Amino acid sequence: MDPLVNGVVMGLIYALVAVGFSLIFGVAKVTFFAHGEVYMLGAVGGFYFLQRLGMPYGVGIILGMLGTGIVGLLIERLLRRLRGQDLAIVVVTIALGMFIANAAMHIVGHTPLAVPGQVPGMISLFGATLALERVVIVLASVAIVLALHFYIQRTKAGHAIRAVAQDREGALLQGIDINRTTATTFFIACGAAGAAGVLLAPLYYVDVFLGSPALIRTLIVVILGGLGSFPGAIVGGLFLGLIESFGYTYIGGLTHLISFAAVIFLLIVRPQGLLGRE
């Protein structure tokens, strides 16, 4: 039971981070290699909000979301000048990630930070005893994913986001403000990553260098699920979370190889990813 619960928890966290990466790629055509660092900012911010300032969990999550969302807006302003220069964007986002991680190290230090558990207690569900905290994390991530889904599918701003992702010129001809839509995308994508960081902070130690492992997982997730696909990021995230959690329990360190083997295998049979389009 434990590997399953852990797998779902981690899978949803991966999904929250990967959804943002995928969304930014789909809408702005930006490969956002600083996304791991945005997640890190959320996690380290979580430490400050929950541990230092003693805020309630929910407030911490919302503040983390807003904070990383604003970071996303700032980065979007910077990247706007490079629109269309894909290689330059790769380098700039990697350099930004490096800068953010090292700047954070000078401010926060590089020792792991412990965030106390937020939701004590256990709960019995279907005959199994679960830590209430994990249940809360699962519910919160599902709520955020659903909110994002609703926002993109049902609201006017969401329609604009989908329109820009489908056809940039077409969207422009319809009078959609592309800059504004891209900025909105960065805001919600970074906000989701930040929320994932705060959510996860009480479960594990937090440090300023958790960005690049998170980025690598995000890359695997989006390749598995299909780059630019919203449901793909969620399926890919859950898939990776479960593989890792069951793998660590039963076979140990070789687990990483299995997820990579899955990526290679998928490339052979379905290069566009599980749910990606041609």
Q: Which is nearer to another protein, 173 or 268 (CB)?
A: 268
Phi, psi dihedral angles at 32 (to 5 degrees): -95, 85
Q: DSSP letter at 115?
A: -
Tell me the C-alpha distance between 238 and 15, whole Å: 7
Tell me the C-alpha distance between 247 and 206, whole Å: 23
Q: How near is the Cβ of 149 to another protein at its closest, in Å?
A: 24
Q: How near is the Cβ of 114 to another protein at its closest, in Å?
A: 24
Q: Which is nearer to another protein, 51 or 102 (CB)?
A: 102
Q: How near is the Cβ of 99 to another protein at its closest, in Å?
A: 4
Q: How near is the Cβ of 56 to another protein at its closest, in Å?
A: 34
Q: Do 27 and 164 touch, CB atoms closer than 8 A? A: yes
Q: How would you class 246 by CB atoms within 10 Å of its CB: exposed for 0-12, middle for 13-18, buried for 19 or more?
A: middle
Q: How near is the Cβ of 65 to another protein at its closest, in Å?
A: 26
Applying CB under 8 A, the residues found at the interface with another protein are 25, 29, 31, 81-82, 85-88, 90-92, 94-96, 98-99, 101-103, 106, 212, 216, 219-220, 222-223, 227, 253-254, 256-257, 260, 263-264, 267-268, 271
Q: Which is nearer to another protein, 79 or 144 (CB)?
A: 79
Q: Which is nearer to another protein, 190 or 220 (CB)?
A: 220
**Under 8 Å CB-to-CB from 79, ≥6 apart: which residues?**
28, 30, 89, 92, 93
Q: Which is nearer to another protein, 95 or 114 (CB)?
A: 95
Q: What is the DSSP string of 130-169?
A: EEHHHHHHHHHHHHHHHHHHHHHHHSHHHHHHHHHHH-HH
Q: Do 30 and 93 touch, CB atoms closer than 8 A? A: yes
Q: How near is the Cβ of 166 to another protein at its closest, in Å?
A: 17
Nearest to 1 by CA among 127, 103, 112: 127
Tell me the C-alpha distance between 127 and 114, whole Å: 31
Tell me the C-alpha distance between 89 and 198, whole Å: 27
User: For residue 5, what are its two tokens?
Assistant: 């619960």
Q: Which is nearer to another protein, 100 or 199 (CB)?
A: 100
Q: How near is the Cβ of 225 to another protein at its closest, in Å?
A: 12
Q: Which is nearer to another protein, 173 or 264 (CB)?
A: 264
